[in-house]
Structure 1
Amino acid sequence: MRIDREGLIELSLKTLAEQVELASAAPPRPSHGVRLALKVLHMFSAGEQAPFVDFWRQMRNDESVMKTETIASYCRSTHLQAQLRGVMRAVGIEPTVAVEQSLAHAALKIYPRTKVKP
């Protein structure tokens, strides 16, 4: 099976979007899949490493300096989403609402949110 450039970029961005989804619960664990996605995306970029390194570093940030877990959760996912936007721009994709919703929807298919009981 062959996959084209756009298909690789799409799958790689979906992999990173999954990490954003996971970040709301806890810092995502490092994985070979995330590293591969970052390498593939870097390969299709203009060559600057910063957006990819920044994503990895933010993914590993547990935001433990925050006063509450609720604040840490919000900061983890918000900051990681900002880094994902940098990665998207590095590969020539403008992070519009439609693009971000598509990635978030794909991530939720893999990691559906659980309903919290009141």
Structure 2
Amino acid sequence: MLCGGRPEGVMAAACRGASRVEGHLVIGVLPGAGLGSERQHTAELDVALFTGMGQARNLINVLSADVVVICGAGGAGTASEAAHAIKAGRLLVLLGVPPLWRDFFCSLSGKVQTAEDAEACCRYIQECVDQP
């Protein structure tokens, strides 16, 4: 599981959940350059990648993923990851996003899927992975 790796919000929750699954690697792509940045990531990371790129790291997150999941209504950084996913042709799953976000991102690409809960999101991703 790859995410922003910060110790807050959805990033922290995703890392906690993924770290509980046996055999899964939890990777955080972080905005800082390292030195002194260690306290800016969640403890559940198996690998912390310090990019020194600030918000530009969002592109690394997207291009390193097969599926991008956006949870809820985030800020501009979350919106940029959704836009990068569409531009890169990645499957984008909108999990519990508000109607405005859903309508906007779905209007941009046919590769956008919506899910109302985590179980539906995981089922959809598994279906995509199982397809040849």
**TM (normalized to structure 1)?**
0.30
Flag the structure with higher helix content. 1
- Relative contact order (alpha carbons < 8 A, sep ≥ 6): 1 or 2 greater? 1
Flag the structure with higher strand content. 2
**TM (normalized to structure 2)?**
0.27
